[in-house]
Amino acid sequence: MRPLVLAGGRVIDPSRNFDQTADVLIEDGKIAGVGSAVGRPDGADVRDVAGQVVAPGLVDIHVHLREPGNEDEETVATGARAAAAGGFTAICAMPNTDPVTDNQAAVGFIVRQSVRAGLARVYPIGAVSVGQKGAQLAEFGEMVGAGAVAVSDDGRPVVSGHLMRTALEYARTFEIAVADHCEEPTLAAGGVMHEGLVSTRLGLKGIPSAAEEIMVARDVLLAELTGGRVHLCHISTRGSVELIRRAKERGVRVTAEVTPHHVALTDHACENYDTHAKMNPPLREAADVAALRQALKEGVIDCIASDHAPHAYDEKEAAFDDAPFGIVGLETAFGVAHTELVLGGVLTLPELVARMSTIAARVYGLPGGALQPGAVADVCVLDPARHWTVDPARFFTKCRNTPFAGRELMGRPTLTLVAGKIVHDGAV
Amino acid sequence: MSATLGKDLVGLEALSPEQIRLILDTAEPFKEVSERPIKKVPALRGKTIVNLFFEASTRTRISFEFAEKRLSADTVNVAASGSSVSKGETLVDTAKNLEAMRIDMVVIRHGASGAAQFLGDRIRSNVINAGDGKHEHPTQALLDLLTIRDKLGKIAGVRVCLVGDILHSRVARSNIWGLTKLGAQVAVCGPHTLMPRGIAELGVTVFRRIEEAIEWADVLNVLRLQLERMEGGFIPSLREYFRVFGVTHERLERARHPLVIMHPGPMNRGVEIESRVADGPHSVILDQVTNGVAVRMAVLYLLAGGKPELADAAKRGAAD
């Protein structure tokens, strides 16, 4: 592989609070040097990235690929390609596939498909319970041995308090987190959007904020009881933020993520019954959006994750009640987050990179998130001044279900490297 | 009069006060058609209309069908059971097939909120919402408005209280929009388990107790209590509901003045309303049904491009 020099960019490495204009030399799949005098080895591919940002590859710890089971909607390879286009060098695949990724063979399959694709790294997340049925613990030990980095029944909550408790306790052996989709099922049953004035006007059944908050409260109490590590997926309400804040103050081992859409949109996006605004948890109110943004700033919420959820176009072409939950997000995550949070004055660009890369990787103890010499060269180049319009027809993901179609964004990944290999080149 | 209705009638939230008045005023001349021995005018001759009912309905479907037939339209009724709808055909496929048959109008009732708009956004034909989920039932509210105007001579300033299951009621939502746009004062009354979040922000007063509502109101519009609400855990029993919220003769006797009693039907006698009240001298429940045909004739006529000022002529056959 030819050596590569990313020349003259703003190098942001949150792992060591590094933020200055420098060249980055990549050789043999590793970061060989960062600075103004890294040299230009013979035959090196020199890319002028002046005005752009060189950052550790972005890490998305919450992605739904549809392989195995619904390869018409996404495969490991197409998901990893979409990830690369979004600046991600690593993604975590949720286990709600068909069949469920709840054993070592299934975990190993995801790993093999990912290696075969050779794009963004794909780390499987195993199921908490066999078949995600919420009854019997899945084999965490064997799944971790096969490459799983966490466990979750995401897509559905761990309903049983007893199962959640034992999962947190059992996961301690393998030093992995249990990630929960917080939703009290009897309160959320039949709901299709946030419960509030908009749902009242539209005549749609709402999901109250309390449905999430009750489970957030339960999960932090169980993490406190067990000493286990809980990770709370796609937090959406201001009440959840307060519960997490207080738990962290007490020293509970809890981490949390938020999606770009939950910090960019409110339940008003559901008006006109736009099924591309239907996701779970639902889009909430302006006060929730404000609290989520502040929580990211303060670190109460640790990271941003896309909850990329591909659905075939005709599934979303339905009455709101009948459409599935979820939107694709890998290719819009950085643009939306940069536009809303950095240009919106919430985060600095280095803070955004930290929440989308360095800290995101730390949540599950993944490699990456750093650019120091010697590190594996998982790198992205981001152009914060790139103005673009979201055109789902140009997505690499197989699906087009996004509420951001036609939206003008500022900031876009232009180059993505995994172990020094170019997996996405926006100039091509 | 410059207001027109546009392509579809999805709900009253999107209509202006002028558009609502236009429909009510256009309904007036059509009332007389139903009183004739030969109840037919040629206003919609040659138009084809599909009544697409994904939910069971007797009253609304028959009312629409009479309205269509009295305007001389050709009509087809499609019920969910026995059609391809029950074989899993999607709403969008149904829409495309109807479009392919070059129909002029669709009257749709569907269990999903937003279904009428979904259809209207995808086909060129006019779409009339005959009830979509918990969202709107605009022609029901229009006939309620017409009945109030007939009975009290005005709508502005009238105090109307909707009683019962507001949470699940499309009739309530359409009434709230229509009444508030025309200047009525609107209240709702029922158990809090059946009140939607944020209802007061729509500009309505919320009464906890039926006695307070009766003391305040000029008109009570008593909604049907779906019997399955008990199994849903919203109320403990029909017996207790009648005890606490039932509109009874005894309660109405304490009112300052006689209240106009309305009900969109079908009634559960002895649950939300006492028979003596439903059948009493201040009940306009059957006037609502009569007005339903006239209001639906007006909506069909206006959406088909009929000129409001010609409605009177249309009923004589001159406008076609």
Is the model's pLDDT at B85 over the cut of 80? no
**Which amino acid makes up residue B66?**
F
Q: What whole-number distance in Å separates Cα of residue A29 and Cα of residue B182?
A: 72
Pick from B92, B170, B202: CB nearest A203: B170
Least confident of A204-218, A220-234, B27-41: B27-41
Q: What is the pLDDT of residue A137?
A: 98
How many beta-carbon pairs under 8 angstroms link A with B?
67
Per-residue pLDDT of A72-116, as tens digits, reads 999 999 999 999 999 999 999 999 999 999 999 999 999 999 999
Q: Which residues of A are catalytic?
A: 307
List the structure tokens of A121.
């790294």
Distance from the Cα of B89 to chain A's closest Cα (Å) equals 11
Q: Which residue of B has its CA nearest to A205?
A: B134
Quote the Cα angle for B228-A317-A68, to 5°: 95
- Surface of B (177-236) touching A: CB under 8 A: 196-199, 201-202
Contacts for A428 with CB less than 8 Å, ≥ 6 apart: none
Is the model's pLDDT at A210 over the cut of 70? yes
Strand ranges (E), A240-324: 254-258, 303-304
Contacts for B287 with CB less than 8 Å, ≥ 6 apart: B147, B150, B151
Q: Do the beta carbons of residue B271 and residue B285 sit within 8 Å?
A: no
Contacts for B100 with CB less than 8 Å, ≥ 6 apart: none
Per-residue pLDDT of A37-69, as tens digits, reads 888 899 999 999 999 999 999 999 999 999 999
Alpha-carbon Rg for chain A, nearest whole angstrom, is: 20
Q: What whole-number distance in Å separates Cα of residue A251 and Cα of residue A60?
A: 25
Q: What whole-number distance in Å separates Cα of residue B71 and Cα of residue B44?
A: 5
Burial label for A176, CB within 10 Å (0-12, 13-18, 19+), is: buried
Q: What is the pLDDT of residue B320?
A: 42
Percent share of chain B, pLDDT over 70: 95
First to last CA, chain A: 19
Inter-chain contact B13–A204, Cβ cutoff 8 Å?
no
CA B268 from centroid of its chain's CA atoms: 18
First to last CA, chain B: 20
Inter-CA distances, B240 with A180, B235, B244, B272, Å: 41, 8, 6, 11
Strands B260-262 and B219-222: parallel
Quote the Cα angle for A147-A150-A152, to 5°: 125
Please state the φ and ψ torsions of residue A263, each to the nearest 5 degrees: -100, 0
List the structure tokens of A146.
């096969």
Report the 10 Å Cβ neighbour count for A343.
Answer: 14
Distance from the Cα of B251 to chain A's closest Cα (Å) equals 30
Q: What is the pLDDT of residue B67?
A: 98
Q: What is the mean pLDDT of chain A?
A: 97
Q: What whole-number distance in Å separates Cα of residue A298 and Cα of residue A286?
A: 19
The sign one gets for the Cα dihedral A276, A278, A281, A282 is positive
A31: three-class secondary structure by DSSP: strand
Find the mean pLDDT for residues B253-280: 95
Q: Which residue of B has its CA nearest to A201?
A: B135
Burial label for A148, CB within 10 Å (0-12, 13-18, 19+), is: buried
Contacts for A95 with CB less than 8 Å, ≥ 6 apart: A101, A102, A106, A124, A125, A126, A127, A132, A151, A152, A153, A154
Per-residue pLDDT of B117-156, as tens digits, reads 999 999 999 999 999 999 999 999 999 999 999 999 999 9
Q: pTM for the complete prediction?
A: 0.94
Name the pLDDT band for B319 (thresholds 50, 70, 90).
very low
Chain B residues lying within 8 Å of A271, measured CB to CB: none
